[in-house]
Amino acid sequence: MVNDQESRLDAEPREECGVFGVWAPGEDVAKLTFYGLYALQHRGQEAAGISVANGKQIVVFKDLGLVSQVFDEQVICCWIDDPIGIEMRHSMNIDKICWECDYPHSDSTWPQSPEQFMKQMQASNCSDSDIDKISHANAMNLYSYDPFSTLGRENCTVGALRRQAEGWDTSIVARGIKATGVGAADLAKFAKADRD
């Protein structure tokens, strides 16, 4: 029979336990935590997990195994601009790493995304195979999507897609408060004027 003291011990971290915390609003804290846990990893580790909170809920992902095993096999890693992540590609499962370019989000490198991507790949001495996997093949495999079968591979290159966009206005357009010339100070003045 287990007594209260033994059950409390099972619920607490044991020796050789690495704990890493991140508080960074607006940043990819799960990725930062992965890197931190990976740096703390040692051979005596029995399990790994990451908990992420957004102020409303906490998402927990955990399993038995080393950090590299738990997250390599079950997590897709996406990034826009992450030279350190690319350097660490050999420590992760390269078949689960995907480049992200999702214009019109503010953190996108569009319209220079392909050029920025290749700069990173070349700086990290990525092979053609790694570039193909990270730029498109992994996403095609993970999401069971093959645009080549309907469009043809030759129509899916950066050059071909840019030619298809000729004549379209692809200029960057500011939207929201800053686009109207109204800033936070102006909003404060409006609010004060409403109260007066």
In this structure, are 102 and 153 located in the same domain? yes
Looking at the fold, whether 31 and 95 belong to one and the same domain comes out as: no
Given this model, what pLDDT does residue 138 score? 92
Residue 126 sits in the same domain as residue 53: no
- Quote the percentage of the chain above a pLDDT of 90: 20
Q: Does pLDDT of 108 surpass 70?
A: yes
Are 41 and 88 found together in one domain?
Answer: no
* 161 and 82 both lie in a single domain: yes
- Report residue 180's pLDDT band, with 50, 70 and 90 as the boundaries: low
Is pLDDT at 72 greater than 60 in this prediction? yes
Backbone angles phi, psi at 137, to 5 degrees: -65, -40
Q: What is the mean pLDDT of residues 80-85?
A: 74
Instruction: Name the domain boundary from 23, 53, 74.
Output: 74
Q: Are residues 82 and 162 in the same domain?
A: yes
Tell me the pLDDT of the chain averaged across its residues.
Answer: 77
- pLDDT exceeds 70 at position 136: yes
- Kindly state whether residue 174 falls inside one of the protein's structural domains: no
Element (H or E) spanning 85, and its range? helix 83-87
Q: How many structural domains compose the chain?
A: 2
User: Minimal CA–CA distance to 104: which of 182, 169, 29, 155?
Assistant: 169
Q: Is residue 151 part of a domain?
A: yes
178 belongs to a structural domain: no
Domain match, 38 and 107 both = no
Distance separating alpha carbons of residues 9 and 157, to the nearest angstrom: 57
Amino acid letter, residue 17: C
128: pLDDT confidence band, cut at 50, 70 and 90? very high
* Residue 193, domain member (yes or no): no
Q: What is the pLDDT of residue 56?
A: 81
